[in-house]
Amino acid sequence: MRRIDTHMHFWTLAMERSYSLWMTPELKVLYRDYGPRDARPLMEANGVEGCVLVSAASTIEEMGYLLGLADGHDFIRGVVGWVDMLAPDAVRDLEQWARSPVLKGIRPYLQDLPEDDWILRPELDAVVRKLPELGLRFDALIKPRHILNAVRFVERYPDLPVIVDHMAKPMINQGELASWARDMEEFRQLDHVHCKLSGILTEDGPEWTSKRVLPYLETVIDIFGPDRLVFGSDWPVVNLVADYGRWVDVVDAALKHMTRADQQKVWASNAERFYGL
């Protein structure tokens, strides 16, 4: 079974200021450099042949850093970066960065913005409409409170390929399944929206169990089906509560009821199609 990881992060403490929104020494396991030499053995041990790097900072400097890493390592198949979508020259900046064929999309930090409806701001319209023109996608980093506004956003732009990161971060450790599932259901008929099976172990916490996370996986598998789901590890953030291989095992178990052909879609084919890898 071929595997592509659509959600990995590489960073260096030499750029610590870029990660000031969340990076602190108290995070311990995450407070160090993570790069290709750390990732490759884990990927190879779990049959993962390529990855998409996703921004971990809201700085343009990190965009250059990630694209540079991709240029030097063939297993990095794509980059999802960050641009200031409200900058006066946002469209021109986007056109410049899109000259790199490895740039596959952008991701604003919606989860950390004070306005839950920030993505609906009219000032964003020009840069959002430019994304599909440039062959770029949009990663939606959202939490449950953002879901319905995200639905309004994707309805507004039916030509924009959108992917929901981390299943919209359901609050598993609080048992909030029903309300999250009800809102996620709004994505069912929106065929241009995909979803990543990623990032939910940290939403359950250090005492996570497969039994608790499985209903959330089953929910998005039902809503998005085998053609609109992709695998992502959220490595190294997953190291806060587990490790790479344990998350692969959880996803593998959740997909066992699918045909082998459908499993292959989720593990690799959908990622290659969606991101144009």
**Cβ contacts of residue 246 below 8 Å, gap of 6+?**
201
Give yes or no for a contact between 27 and 74, defined as CB atoms under 8 angstroms apart. no
The Cα–Cα gap between 231 and 53 comes to 13
Alpha helices in the chain (DSSP H): 36-45, 60-72, 90-97, 125-133, 147-156, 178-184, 201-204, 210-224, 244-255, 260-264, 270-275
Model pLDDT, residue 118: 94
CA distances 135 to 14, 21, 127, 156, 192, Å, are 32, 29, 13, 18, 14
Dihedrals phi, psi of 102, to nearest 5 degrees? -85, -15
**Mean pLDDT (the chain, rounded):** 95
Instruction: Please say if the pLDDT value at position 113 is more than 90.
Output: no
pLDDT digits (tens, 9 = 90+) for 162-172: 999 999 999 99
Dig out the tokens for 199 from the structure.
């990032």
* Domain range summary for the chain, segments of one domain joined by +: 3-275
Model pLDDT, residue 267: 98
Over residues 83-108, the mean pLDDT reads 95
**Cβ contacts of residue 158 below 8 Å, gap of 6+?**
192
Dig out the tokens for 200 from the structure.
């939910």
pLDDT digits (tens, 9 = 90+) for 51-82: 999 999 888 899 999 999 999 999 999 999 99
Model pLDDT, residue 24: 84
pLDDT digits (tens, 9 = 90+) for 126-144: 999 999 999 999 999 999 9
**pLDDT: which is higher, 246 or 109:** 246
Instruction: Please say if the pLDDT value at position 41 is more than 90.
Output: yes
CA distances 268 to 48, 64, 120, 124, 223, Å, are 9, 26, 32, 32, 19
pTM to 2 decimals? 0.95
Instruction: Please say if the pLDDT value at position 273 is more than 90.
Output: yes
Architecture label for domain 3-275: Alpha-Beta Barrel (3.20)
> What is the pLDDT confidence band of residue 14, given thresholds at 50, 70 and 90?
confident
The Cα–Cα gap between 140 and 54 comes to 12
Instruction: Please say if the pLDDT value at position 21 is more than 80.
Output: no
Model pLDDT, residue 17: 84
Over residues 15-31, the mean pLDDT reads 84
The Cα–Cα gap between 137 and 131 comes to 6
pLDDT digits (tens, 9 = 90+) for 164-212: 999 999 999 998 999 999 999 999 999 999 999 999 999 999 999 999 9
Instruction: Please say if the pLDDT value at position 34 is more than 80.
Output: yes
The Cα–Cα gap between 75 and 102 comes to 11
Q: 208: how many CB neighbours lie within 10 A of its CB? A: 19
Full strand arrangement of the beta sheet holding 48-54: 3-8, 48-54, 76-81, 103-106, 137-140, 162-164, 193-197, 229-231
Model pLDDT, residue 45: 97
Model pLDDT, residue 23: 84
Report DSSP state, residue 235: B
Report DSSP state, residue 185: G
At position 79, the amino acid (one-letter code) is V
